Amino acid sequence: MTSTLTGKRNQRIWREEINSTIDFLFFSVFSYILIVSLFERHIFNPLKVPESTLTNSTLEYVPDYGASTTTILFILLAAIALGRVSEWATAPSLLGMLIAGIALRNVPLISGLVVPMKWSSVLRKAAFVVILLRGGLSLDGEALKKMKGACIRLALCPCTVEAVVIALAAKLIFGISILFGLLLGFLLAAVSPAVVVPSMIRIAEDGYGSRVSSLVVAAASLDDVYAITLFSLCFSIVFATGDSVWMTIIRAPLEIIGGCALGAFVGYGLRYVRPSSRLPLLLSSSMAIFFGCASLHIDSAGALAVLVSAFVAASNWRNGETASTEESSLKLFWEFFFQPLLFGLIGFQLTFSLLSWRKVILGILVLAIGVAARTAIAFLAVMGSGMSKQERFFVAFAWIPKATVQAALASVALEKTRNGRYEKEYEEASLIVFSLAVLSILTTAPIGAAVIRITAPLLLTKDSEENSSSSTIDRSEEMKALSDVEP
């Protein structure tokens, strides 16, 4: 008997050692791919300096690493501090974070701060990977199967209509191409769960909106996934790498299919790793996939692969729970590092000299047209769901705020055009995309949060007194659990 127990214990130890070794090998491979992709080195000879670096070494700007690191630290701390102040003022914290970056860049008394474009790009892309991961982890396959049409319609229809309307408005007002307009449209069309979910938690705690809150939160993540996918598709078409139009049209869906297949393959492997290795392997594999695909100029495939891998892996991690440990850990990473850094850096990139009052006013007009179309379609999308007219109005108002996806993708097109390979009209259109994305955060995030807070008691019916003591607590806990998984 003793020998049998000893044998089983030894087998378990050996199995743990083997699993640990396999996890380490995969982590090493993913980390290697990430480093090679970031520094654009040959995958089989990473220590060899690329020819392009040797040729341009005397022309390239060499960053002051001390000043750059200090600047990033200042941006991070200032963003966290102003984010707290913004919360105390009952405004979204991300608004204060964005203002912190803008102030550090544009206040005359502050000088000497510098962040190399490469550093800023890598940090914002890393934050975007975390957004993608949280979006993929938040999608519940079983819930999606059981969803009625209202949630699907709310996630897809307003986003699509707003993107098309903004594309047409930007064409008429700014004169940019329809393709660039669609790129802008799907960037601006993504709703911000970072604003919506906390507002819904407060509503649930006050005893309002049992059905409405669940519907809005569930549709918000799907809306972001849809908007990111279409943005990636438009980006691949707009910034085609020397291919003909037809080759670009064929290549874009192939990138989507390839990204989904790669994500499914990696995610299926992640489903069976040890619980202690899940988060390190999830992060390392996602960073390797995203930056590796970016180095191969198939950015849309990388974004979709990260989304799909997180979704497939999480389907086996939850074990019936609303949120997994990995989702809660990513939420902490997001709130205390990636979110303040992302919004601080995007604000730091905005220079007032890039904007004019005319461009600001016209940009606000385009945003207003898009939001008007969005709210109207959102109101129609939830018809037939059993909601009253007042509840449908509230859902439409709750679909206004924009922030997270806009901050992550605002400067992607602008960075692409700064290498000198594209015509001036591309750079001008990319600057419009960047400017309107920042304007959308500054305007719709605080206005949307305020509208949700004001209209909730006016448009939603409070629960009956006999059920309020128990059901309000249950809904509040449910909404807080959902907030752990919002992207």
User: Which phi and psi (to 5°) does residue 208 adopt?
Assistant: -110, 155
Q: Tell me how far CA of residue 218 lies from CA of 148, 168, 298, in angstroms.
A: 11, 29, 29
User: Residue 187's closest CA among 464, 402, 341?
Assistant: 402
Q: Among 159-168, 269-278, 283-292, 432-441, where is mean pLDDT lowest? A: 269-278
Residue 420: its pLDDT value, please?
64
Whole-number Å distance between alpha carbons of 105 and 113 = 8
Residue 457 confidence class, pLDDT cut points 50, 70, 90: confident
Please write the tens of the pLDDT for every residue from 41-82: 777 777 776 665 555 544 455 667 788 889 999 999 999 999
* Buried/exposed code over 254-286 (b: 16+ C-beta within 10 A; e: otherwise): ebbebbbebbeebbeebeebeeebbbbbbbbbb
Which amino acid, 381?
Answer: A
User: Is residue 225 within 8 Å of 306, Cβ to Cβ?
Assistant: no
Residue 472: its pLDDT value, please?
44
DSSP code of residue 419: T
Q: Which H helix or E strand runs over 235?
A: helix 210-238
Residue 464: its pLDDT value, please?
54
Pick 63-483's CATH classification: 3.40.50.300, 1.10.10.10, 1.20.1530.20, 3.40.1190.10.
1.20.1530.20
Which residue matches tokens 């670009």?
A: 248
Please write the tens of the pLDDT for every residue from 356-401: 888 899 999 999 999 999 999 999 998 877 788 888 999 999 999 9
User: Is residue 198 within 8 Å of 377, Cβ to Cβ?
Assistant: no
Please write the tens of the pLDDT for every residue from 404-456: 889 989 888 888 887 667 788 888 899 999 999 999 999 999 999 889 888 88
What DSSP assignment string belongs to 39-91?
Answer: TT--SS-TTSPPHHHHHHTTTS----HHHHHHHHHHHHHHHHHHHHHHHHTTS
Please write the tens of the pLDDT for every residue from 165-182: 999 999 999 999 998 999
Please write the tens of the pLDDT for every residue from 301-343: 888 899 889 988 887 776 545 456 788 888 889 989 999 999 9
User: Is residue 202 within 8 Å of 453, Cβ to Cβ?
Assistant: yes
